[in-house]
Structure formats: C-alpha cells, structure tokens
C-alpha cells in the first residue's frame, strides 16, 4: 500500500497546508497593521520657506520653495520628515505702484509630503507681507513737481527662513 495514496496521509497533508496558509495570512495582516500610522486632523506641521519671495518678481499662482522644518512624529514613528517638500503658492500679489503704493504678497502652503510619498493637505500655513508705503514722500515731492506722483512704494518680501505652522485638514493614513 502506497502511503501517499492513503486517506490518512491526505488528511494530514491538507491540515498542514491549511495551517501554513493561515499562519502566513495572519502574520501578513499583523505585519501590515504595524506599518500603518494614522495622522489625526489638526496635527501641527512646521514649515520654512527656502527662498525669499518678492511682490516685484512673483505672480499669482507661482510656486514657492518650502520644506517641513521638523519631523512630525505620531506614536513614536516619523510620518513627515524634516526637509520634506511642501506645495506652496503665491495666492495674491500686488506689485508696488506709483504714488507710493506699497507691494503686497500672500503665500499659502496647501500640502506636505509624507514619508510614504503621499500628499497630506494642510491649512493655516499662510504668510503675508506688505511693503513700505511711500505715499507721504510722493505727496511732498508732488508739491514741488508733478513727477512726485511717479514715486513708487517699496516691494513686499518674505525672506528666506521665514517659518509658518500649518495643520492637517483631515485624518491621513501613512504606510511606513
């Protein structure tokens, strides 16, 4: 009698295969749960502008270079690494104008990049600046010469190294 054809051998082989498959499936599920971290809504994210931005050289919608300033850690795991890129744009810009009108600029950071490469939307990371008005100077010069009306105000600028803090808008799931 061939042992491999016996009902007992087939039963044992089936149980061994089934238990092995079950063991790997359970271990995969446990492993997968350990590699997922949930970033709650409202988590603060510190952001630094890499380069200065000026109302004289920027236009609405243009990209602004910004990075995450400090690691964001949830449950002892880094979910957003310091130096991660941010999506920041010039939301509003007005160049300095005649009669001493100052320039103005507003930059908004919309999202940051998590360690798994996913994009996490944020809000509240807004930085605005207004240049110096030259209205008084323009009016004083205009008293003596009409060309005083052509005096321009100062451009607004946000210097490199400026920091803002944004907050995650919703809950985000990050795979580590």
Per-residue model confidence as pLDDT tens digits over 53-82 = 999 899 999 999 999 999 999 989 999 999
Q: Is 70 exceeded by the pLDDT of residue 151? A: no
pLDDT digits (tens, 9 = 90+) for 108-147: 999 999 999 999 999 988 998 987 666 555 555 566 666 5
108, 126: one domain: yes
86, 136: one domain: yes
Cβ contacts of 103-106, under 8 Å, gap ≥ 24: 103/54, 103/55, 103/56, 103/130, 103/131, 103/153, 103/154, 103/155, 103/156, 104/55, 104/128, 104/129, 104/130, 104/131, 104/156, 105/53, 105/54, 105/55, 105/58, 105/129, 105/156, 105/157, 105/158
85, 123: one domain: yes
Number of domains in the chain: 2
117, 146: one domain: yes
106, 29: one domain: no
Query: Taking Cα atoms as reference points, which of 104, 45, 112, 102 lies closest to residue 73?
Result: 45
Whether 159 and 51 have beta carbons less than 8 Å apart is answered as no
70, 139: one domain: yes
103, 52: one domain: yes
Q: What is the per-residue pLDDT for 17?
A: 63
CATH code, domain carrying 162: 2.40.128
- Greater confidence (89 vs 30) lies with 89
What beta strand segments (E) does 114-176 contain?
Answer: 119-123, 126-130, 157-158, 163-168, 172-175
What range does the domain containing 158 cover?
40-175
105, 74: one domain: yes
Q: What is the per-residue pLDDT for 23?
A: 58
């Amino acid at each position: 009698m061939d042992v491999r054809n016996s009902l007992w051998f087939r039963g044992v082989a089936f149980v061994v295969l089934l238990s092995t498959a079950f063991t790997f499936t359970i271990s995969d599920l446990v492993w997968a749960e350990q590699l997922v971290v949930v970033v709650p809504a409202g988590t603060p994210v510190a952001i630094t502008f890499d380069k200065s931005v000026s109302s004289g050289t920027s236009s609405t919608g243009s990209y602004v270079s910004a990075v995450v300033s400090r690691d964001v850690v949830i449950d002892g795991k880094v979910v957003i690494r310091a130096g991660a890129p941010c999506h920041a744009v010039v939301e509003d810009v007005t160049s300095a104008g005649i009669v001493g009108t100052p320039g103005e600029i507003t930059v908004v950071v919309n999202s940051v990049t998590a360690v798994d490469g996913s994009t996490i939307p944020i809000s509240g990371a807004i930085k605005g600046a207004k240049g110096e008005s030259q209205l008084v100077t323009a009016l004083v010069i205009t008293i003596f010469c009409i060309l005083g009306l052509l005096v321009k105000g100062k451009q607004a600028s946000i210097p490199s190294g400026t920091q803002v803090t944004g907050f995650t808008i919703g809950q985000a799931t990050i795979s580590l």
